[in-house]
Structure 1
Amino acid sequence: MSARPTLRPATAGILIAILAVTVLAVDQFTKYLAITFLPPEELVPVLGDAFGLYLIRNSGAAFSFGAGFTWIFTIALAAVAIVIVVTATRVRSRAWAVVLGLLLGGVAGNLGDRLFREPGFGVGHVVDFVSTPWMWFWTTPAIYNVADCFIVTMMISIAVLVLTGRRLDGTREKRAEPDAVVAPADDAAPRD
């Protein structure tokens, strides 16, 4: 079985862009729906206690961590987006193109909130609305959005790609062959 051919640079770039724009659009559309139809800070149960909708504006990172440092998260998201775009120019692997495209879409979704939502440019609050109370972080239940889902799952995917030796250029890192086990030489001649 032959290996899949690698992507041409333009094809990889187009794939990354299409996936990023798709995730960004879905993220922003679901946030629009949440803002339009959900009551603020009131749980709307969907699947009992396991899953619900709870609209909040998050000035911090995950679980509202670092709420007083919104501008730092804006800079971090912008830096990650730039790194992905620069890295995308070297991608020839389908798997890396998919992962980076979906990650870029998630990053762009939350970056858009930081840049353009209230209370102002660069310090906007991210719209979160998916509630899974069974996922706890210290004393706070998990409330997140579509962009967060893609960011977390794609970061895990990047770890898997790295651990399995898949390179950006579509090649695979060769595993080192273990040294052959050599039996110790027996100096004594065989006895009859």
Structure 2
Amino acid sequence: MEPSQDQSERVRTPDVSRTVLLFSSAAAVVLLADQGSKAWAASSLSTCAGQVAPRTFDLCLAFNQGMAFSLGRGAGPLISLVAVGIVIALALASRKVSSVGQVLMGIVAGGAIGNVIDRALREPIAGVSPGFMKGAVVDFLYSSFWPTFNIADSAIVVGGIALSVLLWRMPDPEPASLPSVTASASSGGPDGASSTVDSSPADQSNAAQSS
């Protein structure tokens, strides 16, 4: 018996709810960690300008009006538009991947949202508005071998790489199975009549001799 529409909706609802929970929870964790660390960095760290590059790693404050890792300076509005589009695409695609994929998509989305918030609200110079979506992203993770970055940048890059590997390793969908004729054959065909089995030539010969 075919399930009713109400039953189908009840079956699908838990999957949708789980997807929303995993995706949004991962995004929220990254977003809170990113914004909290940026608020701390903006109030506690000295600027990176003029600072001697560390041998390995250090913490200092930098304002980035470009994209991840201080690239694309001055393209804030375009970068923000692309980031919002990516977040929407990830949210829609998260329904079609595994739980791990949903978490990874949420991590990438959380990082993208964190940097968009900075571009919308963060003023590189206190009291001076830079214009629509031209605010500065706070970077504070400073190294001698990589451009200054933040937690959102790390989430985007690490989450994106992990997601790419996961999708690459995902098995291809199985082809649709062909309709089975076993039941029809065993019941004698579609009309329910008994099916006859042709005897082999040897059986026919034996039957003729016995008669």
TM-score by length of 2: 0.67
Could you tell me how far 1:54 is from its partner in structure 2?
Answer: 2.1
Instruction: Determine helix, strand or coil for the equivalent of 2:135.
Output: coil
What is the rounded CA distance, in whole Å, between the counterparts of 2:34 and 2:139 in structure 1? 10
Which has more helix, going by share of residues? 2
Alignment-derived partner of residue 152 in structure 2: 147
- Structure in which a larger fraction of residues adopt strand: 1
- Distance in 1, matches of 2:88 and 2:52, equals 37
Q: Which has the larger radius of gyration?
A: 2
Alpha-carbon distance in 2 for matches of 1:160, 1:60: 27
Looking at structure 2, the residues matched to 102 and 80 of structure 1 have their Cα atoms a distance apart, in angstroms, of 12
Name the structure 1 match of 2:47: 40
* SS of corresponding position for 1:123: coil
1:134 aligned counterpart, secondary structure: coil
Query: Where in structure 1 are there 5+ consecutive unaligned residues?
Result: 1-6, 136-141, 166-171, 176-192
State the superposition RMSD in angstroms.
Answer: 2.1
**Cα distance in 1 between the residues matched to 2:52 and 2:21:** 39
Structure 2, unaligned stretches of length 5 or more? 1-13, 124-129, 175-211
Contact residue 69 and residue 153 of structure 2 kept, 8 A:
no
Contact 1:130–1:144, Cα closer than 8 Å, also in 2:
yes
Identity, % of aligned positions: 32
Aligned to 1:181: none
In the other structure, the counterpart of 2:86 is 80
Letter in 2 for 1:17: S
Say whether 1:108 aligns with 2:113. yes
1:67 aligns with 2:78: no
- Aligned to 2:17, which of 10, 18, 24? 10
Shift of 1:49: 1.5
Runs (4+) off by over 6 Å: none
